[in-house]
Structure 1
């Protein structure tokens, strides 16, 4: 049986714009673009870039974020001081949490591997167009 050994190279840190909320993750995120309407509105951008990690691998350092319910199935966190969006978590998958890739201190190596919510992708968005596409599931 193979076991994975966690190394310091797996550790990544990040936080909000003002620095009051900081985090550390000890697993490399599974990264994708999300084109769904909820992510667009939550970020104020044409799409979100999310990195999923096991919730147990996330540690808040210092300040903690505020949470809000963004839909009947999900909640999002943000810095209450500066408003930076930080996480997304689905009620049915509490063992995983997505961090907004732009909040990592060093996001350079966190390249998306697929598109999610592709049926809602804005026609002029060309980032990741050659990556695999998945559609959202109707959840409510």
Structure 2
């Protein structure tokens, strides 16, 4: 007997949440110019979820039809990119950064490499730092944590939490 894996995720503000039961197929980094623009980033990590294994658990995404065959789902409240929907496909593309645990799915391929930024191969050469480094240091980091309005990386019964009197 096999046990199906359950993936959950959603947008930054918590207005849209989803659940996938099963596997996420073909995890990859897409470098095409459309995915760059849709994510506001240099690439968009995606994987496919079988439509029958996918369910929205909170809210409804907004949609932008980026071509005749693809629409892209995002949160209308906070703007988080969530879905790549090639409407005739059997799967729905999930933006891997929207997973509650993005470490769960490792990309196996890069696509759209004709649009990959030329210096991408040099990322390992860049200096690294933690969030509490730089201007303001630890105090800035603690102030951000104390006022964080980002939805936690797990399902909640209600979001945002009710304000205390």
Q: TM-score, normalised by structure 2?
A: 0.69
**Aligned pairs for 1:32-47 within 5 A:** 32-47=28-43
Q: Are 2:11 and 1:16 aligned?
A: yes
The structure that has the greater radius of gyration is 2
Counterpart CA distance in 1 for 2:2 and 2:44 is 28
Measured after TM superposition, the shift of residue 45 of structure 1 is 0.4
| Shift of residue 6, structure 1, vs aligned partner | 5.3
Of 72, 88, 91, 1:92 maps to 88
How many residues align? The count is: 121
Indicate yes or no: 2:20 matched with 1:25: yes
Match of 1:125 among 120, 141, 145: 120
Return the structure number with greater strand share: 1
CA distances 1:18-47 after superposition (whole Å, capped 9, x unpaired): 001100001221210101000000001000
1:71-105 deviation digits (Å, cap 9, x = unpaired): 12200111111111110011331x21111101000
Distance 2:61 2:51 in 1: 15
Q: In structure 1, what is the Cα distance between the partners aligned to 2:53 and 2:46?
A: 16
**Cα distance in structure 2, aligned partners of 1:56 and 1:100:** 18
**Match status 1:115 vs 2:114:** no
The runs of 5 or more residues in structure 1 that have no matched partner are 128-140
Match of 1:137 in 2: none
Unaligned runs of 5+ in 2: 123-165
Structure 1: how far apart are the matches of 2:41 and 2:60? Answer: 24
**Mapped partners of 1:71, 1:43: distance in 2:** 16
Structure 1 runs of 4+ aligned residues shifted over 6 Å read none
User: Which residue, 72, 76, 79 being the options, matches 2:75?
Assistant: 79
